[in-house]
Amino acid sequence: FTEEQVACVCEVLQHSGNIERLARFLWSLPSCEQIQKNESVLKARAIVTFQRGHFKELYNIVENNHFSPHNHAKLQSLWLKAHYAEAERSRGRPLGAVGKYRVRRKHPLPRTIWDGEETSYCFRERSRQILRTWYSANPYPSPRDKKQLAEWTGLTTIQVSNWFKNRRQRDRAAE
């Protein structure tokens, strides 16, 4: 197999959800560093180790290899779920919202799977700053302005519209 073929098989098996078959495929690969360091292979290994409950190995894979932004969401989810599962196991009960919050604070996402920009209610801080700056100049943007703001911030026009509507409402309530 070429490196590209191996990566393709890993992606197909991941999407099929057949983790045991994926694990067998990974086990059959040669110990060639080029293949073992391929991002699709690393992500597949992370998924298999998570499913098997080998969380320390998962953390090792994630912390010691850089991943492309398109893989961040999946790996972030595995990172958090693994830490939640460990906390639940040690406490002997399911975590509530506060417990999960504490786990996230204790085990922040590594920079290998996170761009470092804080988010709040799904809005990145950079997007909020753009909206705040625009709001201070014009609290009633036109539909064209909203479309442009959506492109700049990576939000939808509905999210932009709702942000302005909510901000105007909060400002009125504060008066």
Q: Which residue has the higher pLDDT, 119 or 79?
A: 79
- Looking at 101, 116, 131, which one is the last position of a domain? 116
Decide if pLDDT at 164 tops 80. yes
Mean pLDDT of 46-73: 96
Average pLDDT over residues 67-85: 95
Rounded Cα gap, residues 145 and 138, in angstroms: 10
Shared domain for 51 and 68, answered yes or no, is: yes
Residues 133, 91 share a domain: no
Residue range 33-51: average pLDDT?
96
pTM equals 0.71
* Same structural domain, 16 and 95: yes
Residues 22, 67 within the same domain: yes
Residue 53 shares a structural domain with residue 100: yes
Per-residue pLDDT, averaged over 52-66, amounts to 97
Q: What pLDDT, on a 0 to 100 scale, did the predictor assign at position 36?
A: 93
Q: Are residues 16 and 101 in the same domain?
A: yes
* CB burial string 44-66: b at 16+ within 10 A, e below: bbbbbbbeeeebeebbebbeebe
pLDDT of residue 170: 93
**Average pLDDT value for residue range 85-108:** 95
Give the C-alpha separation, 37 to 89, whole Å: 31
Domain CATH for 165: 1.10.10.60
Q: Are residues 26 and 53 in the same domain?
A: yes
Residue 41 has pLDDT above 90, yes or no: yes
Q: Are residues 40 and 124 in the same domain?
A: no
- Residue 120 is predicted with a pLDDT of 56
Residue 73 contacts residue 43 (beta carbons within 8 Å): no
Task: Provide DSSP, 37-77.
Answer: T-HHHHHHHHHHHHHTT-HHHHHHHHHTS---HHHHHHHHH
Beta partners for residue 119, in sequence order: 124
| In a shared domain, residues 92 and 40 | yes
What mean pLDDT comes out for the span 18-26? Answer: 96
- 62 closest CA partner among 38, 46, 47, 82: 46
At residue 95, the pLDDT reads 96
- Same structural domain, 84 and 133: no
Last residue within a domain, chosen from 116, 141, 165: 116
Q: How many domains does the chain have?
A: 2
> Is residue 124 domain-shared with residue 111, that is, in the same domain?
no
The domain in which residue 28 lies consists of: 3-116
Give me the pLDDT at residue 115, please.
74
Confidence at 122, pLDDT banded by 50, 70, 90: low
Q: What is the mean pLDDT of residues 19-43?
A: 95
On the question of pLDDT at 163 being above 80, the answer is yes
Task: Note whether 70 and 136 are same-domain residues.
Answer: no
